[in-house]
Amino acid sequence: MASDMNEILLQSVEVLPSMPDTISKLRKYIEESRNNLEISKVADIISSDPLMTAKLLRLANSPFYGFSREITSLNQVVSLLGIGNIINTIMADSVRDTFKVDVSPYGLNTNDFMNKCSEETAFIADWLNDEDKKLSHFLVPCALILRLGIVIFSNFLIQNKKNAEFLEYLKKIDFRDLSLAENEFLGVDHISFLGFLLYRWNFDEILTETICFIRTPHAARDEVKKSAYALAIIDHLFMPHKTFSLFNVKASIALIEEAKALGVKFNLDNFISKLPKEIREELEKEKK
């Protein structure tokens, strides 16, 4: 069954959305300009899309980026975030807006799911904005699309009338292993499938690898290792069915310690200080 569903899933990729024209124009300008990029020209290209302009300004002024002053122009956005981050963010936002969100096949409440997705991004900013602002900014678009695989799989299961059977299987295994259920029904897990889509959509190579190595950050190349570890830590904290469980918090701390052994440094005290109060208290109790 999984191989048959996997074939249908791959066929469905052909009708997935293409990237907005603004992305094509930006890429063409970057390719032609090489090292002579001008912030004002990048801003002009983006400004041709009023909706995208409004979204970028709104996002730049959100807590995700933590800027101390109001951002009022595209020139400021491009200058502060960098062209690479701008393209990643536009693409992530565009892709995410394309899909109807109904995650009921996973036994999840759609509103709660969307709120948790926003909480993930907010936590990244709270955790890393003072410690590593460049990494924090890079991870925002990663977080925006991290759960997109679940959304796409949910839509696919509903369309193919496999949603009830899939949910029953998840209940049977007590929601412990989403990858097991996904491989059983679809022949691939949602993170691997998302990595395939990001490659197909020509997302930034570092962003794509960061997401692809979220389960094995130790195996990522050096340029990607820190972002992969950071996103893996977030992924553990915000597991769709067990957000901020003590077990997953400990797994995140273990990842920070593992990263340190490989020369990738995060401030553990800073990380713990950003956790919910009740979790910090539980961790303190276990120390005594």
Going residue by residue through the chain (288 aa), what tens digit of pLDDT does each one get?
555 566 677 666 666 666 778 888 888 888 888 778 888 888 999 999 888 898 889 888 887 787 778 899 989 988 888 888 888 888 888 777 778 889 999 999 999 998 888 889 889 989 998 899 999 989 988 988 899 899 989 988 998 899 999 999 999 999 988 999 999 998 889 999 888 888 888 888 999 999 999 999 999 999 999 999 999 999 999 988 888 889 999 999 999 999 999 999 999 999 999 999 999 999 988 876
Is residue 1 classed as helix, strand or coil in its secondary structure? Answer: coil
pLDDT value, residue 161: 93
pLDDT value, residue 13: 67
Burial 213-239 (b: 16+ CB within 10 A, else e): bbeebeebeeebbbbbbbbbbbbbbbb
> Which residues lie closer than 8 Å to 46 by C-beta, 6 or more apart?
22, 26, 52, 53, 56, 74, 78, 86, 90
pLDDT value, residue 17: 63
pLDDT value, residue 225: 97
pLDDT value, residue 20: 76
Would you say 108 and 160 are in contact if contact means Cβ atoms under 8 Å apart? no
pLDDT value, residue 2: 55
Upper half-sphere CA count for residue 97 (Cβ side, 13 Å): 12
Q: Which amino acid is at 42?
A: V
pLDDT value, residue 150: 93
pLDDT value, residue 288: 65
Closest CA to 189 of 147, 228, 221, 224: 147
Output the CA–CA distances (angstroms, integers) from residue 181 to 13, 176, 177, 205, in the order listed.
21, 9, 7, 28
Count of positions (residues) in the chain:
288
pLDDT value, residue 263: 96
**CATH 1.10.3210.10 assigned to 2-212:** yes
